[in-house]
């Protein structure tokens, strides 16, 4: 296996998936194209002819995010027609899977360098739109009815972890909003956002330059007043969950020798990855066994991980992982700039957002050697990728 590296990543601002959001009149494939073009513009030493794959994920592969979007977006971005592309669906872990797929191809020598990412326009394609779940799932009791509604799976996860109260999830959600607001104030989020031209039939042209989801006015009192739509007197609310969002991400993955040859930065080194299946009705537990498996493959323990980028589909899902591994709810190593509760979760795009932020943390914290990105995945799965910091100073404080 060759050394595999994460070179760089970008994303669009994440918009709210509704008619008055950022992108109701913007195509999903155009969001991807903007990310691909921005990546290549940031790295003029990378000839697009050297690319050997474009892997783009979408959970709902239809309409403006269908038509083998890795290939179609590549053509629209002006990448040479000789560069192939394909589409991926692993629900929320689509972009994560795009990265690990091309990383595997690089590791065995099939290719040297690739683009990977994901997109989800939930305003155009709500989760499950156009799908036809086989009636055998429920008729033959293969899964609980809860398994097909992600909010219900979060309530079931609360049942499995009775110590994770609504008060804890609300406190975690508030912290996510506060950390994100500080990151924006410090100017560390904006560098990786690709401005997107927007159009509205009534308001005319605009420019999306910031995430639309964050609520800087969030308070514990306000969170406590929110209703629990998935269960009467439940614990899961709009405030302690990610929103419904539109957005895209993309990154460059390469063999380290190729990155060095082309004078590309080495932001992270790939160490190990694992995907696992769990009970669909409690899909939020998935990152726990995925992390255990990825750590075992790497010969590491949870104590070796100095930074965590965990997708906040629901606060309870993150807290379940932290509780399992004995990590405090407010551990500063976890999502230092906030997470999806604050900035949004356009399903298949989020994996690369996690990776890009971890890469930025690595550069700022050379005393940290290993970090990980992890997420739960619909229909009962979890995914984890462990990365090594190339800036590690050997000071393991």
Q: Can you list the domains of the chain with their CATH numbers?
A: 4-126+243-387 (3.40.47.10)
Q: Of 121, 124, 158, 376, which is the active-site residue?
A: 376
- 92 catalytic? Reply is yes
pLDDT digits (tens, 9 = 90+) for 358-374: 999 999 999 999 999 99
Sign of CA dihedral 90, 371, 243, 210: negative
Report the C-alpha gap between 227 and 236 in whole angstroms: 8
* Strand spans (E) along the chain: 4-11, 15-16, 54-57, 85-88, 113-121, 196-200, 204-208, 245-255, 268-277, 305-310, 370-377, 381-388
Residue, of 395 and 355, whose pLDDT is higher: 355
pTM: 0.96
Q: Of 124, 125, 345, 361, which is the active-site residue?
A: 345
The pLDDT of residue 146:
82
- 345 catalytic? Reply is yes
The pLDDT of residue 141:
85
Looking at the predicted structure, is the pLDDT value of residue 268 above 70?
A: yes
Mean pLDDT of the chain: 96
pLDDT digits (tens, 9 = 90+) for 148-200: 889 999 999 999 999 999 999 999 999 999 999 999 999 999 999 999 999 88
Mean pLDDT over 246-265 rounds to: 98
Query: How big, in percent rounded to 5, are the helix, strand and coil portions of the chain?
Result: 40, 20, 40
Q: Of 35, 92, 124, 251, which is the active-site residue?
A: 92
The pLDDT of residue 397:
47
Looking at the predicted structure, is the pLDDT value of residue 147 above 90?
A: no
Looking at the predicted structure, is the pLDDT value of residue 122 above 60?
A: yes
The pLDDT of residue 138:
83
What is the DSSP secondary structure assignment for residue 282, as one 8-state letter? G
Mean pLDDT over 222-238 rounds to: 96
Query: What count of Cα atoms within 13 Å lies in the side-chain half-sphere of residue 180?
Result: 23
Looking at the predicted structure, is the pLDDT value of residue 120 above 60?
A: yes
pLDDT digits (tens, 9 = 90+) for 31-42: 999 999 999 999
């Amino acid at each position: 296996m060759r050394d595999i590296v994460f070179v760089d990543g970008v994303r669009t601002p994440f918009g709210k998936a509704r008619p008055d959001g950022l992108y109701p009149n913007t195509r999903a494939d155009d969001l991807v194209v903007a990310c691909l073009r921005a990546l290549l513009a940031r790295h003029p030493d990378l000839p697009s002819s050297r690319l050997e794959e474009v892997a783009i994920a979408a959970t709902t592969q239809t309409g403006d995010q269908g038509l083998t979007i890795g290939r179609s977006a590549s053509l629209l971005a002006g990448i040479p027609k000789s560069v192939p592309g394909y589409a991926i669906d692993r629900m929320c872990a689509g972009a994560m899977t795009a990265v690990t797929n091309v990383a595997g191809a690089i590791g065995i020598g099939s290719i040297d360098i690739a683009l990977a990412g994901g997109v989800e326009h939930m305003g155009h394609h709500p989760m499950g739109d156009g799908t036809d779940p086989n009636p055998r799932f429920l008729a033959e009791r293969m899964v609980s009815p809860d398994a097909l509604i992600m909010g219900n799976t979060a309530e079931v996860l609360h049942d499995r972890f009775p110590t994770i109260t609504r008060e804890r999830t609300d406190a975690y959600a508030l912290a996510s909003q506060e950390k994100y607001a500080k990151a924006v104030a410090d100017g560390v989020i904006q560098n990786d956002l690709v401005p997107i031209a927007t159009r509205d039939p009534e308001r005319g042209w605009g420019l999306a330059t910031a995430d639309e989801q964050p609520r800087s006015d969030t308070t514990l009192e306000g969170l406590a007043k929110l209703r629990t739509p998935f269960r009467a007197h439940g614990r899961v609310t709009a405030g302690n969950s990610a929103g419904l969002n539109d957005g895209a991400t993309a990154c460059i993955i390469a063999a380290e020798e190729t990155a060095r040859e082309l004078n590309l930065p080495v932001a992270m080194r790939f160490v190990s990855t694992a995907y696992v299946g769990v009970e669909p009705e409690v899909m939020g537990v998935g990152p726990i066994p995925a992390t255990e498996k990825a750590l075992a493959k790497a010969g590491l323990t949870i104590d070796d991980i100095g930074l965590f980028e965990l997708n906040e589909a629901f606060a309870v899902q993150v807290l379940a992982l932290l509780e399992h591994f004995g990590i405090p709810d407010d551990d500063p190593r976890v999502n230092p700039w906030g997470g999806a509760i604050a900035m949004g979760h356009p399903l298949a795009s989020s994996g690369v957002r996690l990776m890009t932020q971890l890469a930025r943390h690595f550069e700022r914290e050379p005393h940290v050697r290993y970090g990980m990105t992890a997420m739960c995945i619909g229909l009962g799965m979890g995914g984890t990728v462990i990365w090594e910091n190339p800036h590690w100073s050997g000071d393991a404080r």
